[in-house]
Amino acid sequence: MINYLSLFGSADAAAEGSFVDTLISFSPIIIVIVVFYFMLIRPQQKKDKEDRAMRENLDIGDEIVTAGGIIGLVVSIKEDTVVIETGSDRSKVRIAKWAVAQNLSAKEKAAEK
């Protein structure tokens, strides 16, 4: 009868070999997860943080663009809403704060500096 443990040296060596084999078989999955984190998740979190800061720093008189493409001047700011003035007839529109896509006044101020 063949003693299989003597072929591998000991049971510890066989267990260590199976751990290494398992680690090697999962390494492509681990590499894909790391790449997705640094290529997709982390940049998106950074952009979300910048957008949140832009919305928190809105001031009255700033020119903004909404997610729907409406351009207007900020007239009033409340906790969750912003009132903007659009068009030559000075019509006012109340929008949700999350709908503000760009602050054009902040970009102009940054360009001046």
pLDDT digit string (tens) for 62-113?
999 999 999 999 999 999 999 999 988 999 999 999 999 999 987 777 777 7
CATH, range 59-112: 2.30.30
Of 96, 97, 84, the residue nearest 51 (C-alpha):
97
6 — pLDDT class (breaks 50, 70, 90) = low
Phi, psi of 90 (to 5 degrees): 60, 40
Runs of H (alpha helix) within the chain: 4-8, 11-36, 42-56, 104-112
Element (H, E) at 101: strand 100-103
Q: What is the mean pLDDT of the chain?
A: 86
How is 69-83 classified by DSSP, letter by letter? S-EEEEEEE-SSEEE
pLDDT at 51: 94
Residue ranges covered by each domain of the chain: 4-54, 59-112
Distance separating alpha carbons of residues 60 and 82, to the nearest angstrom: 10
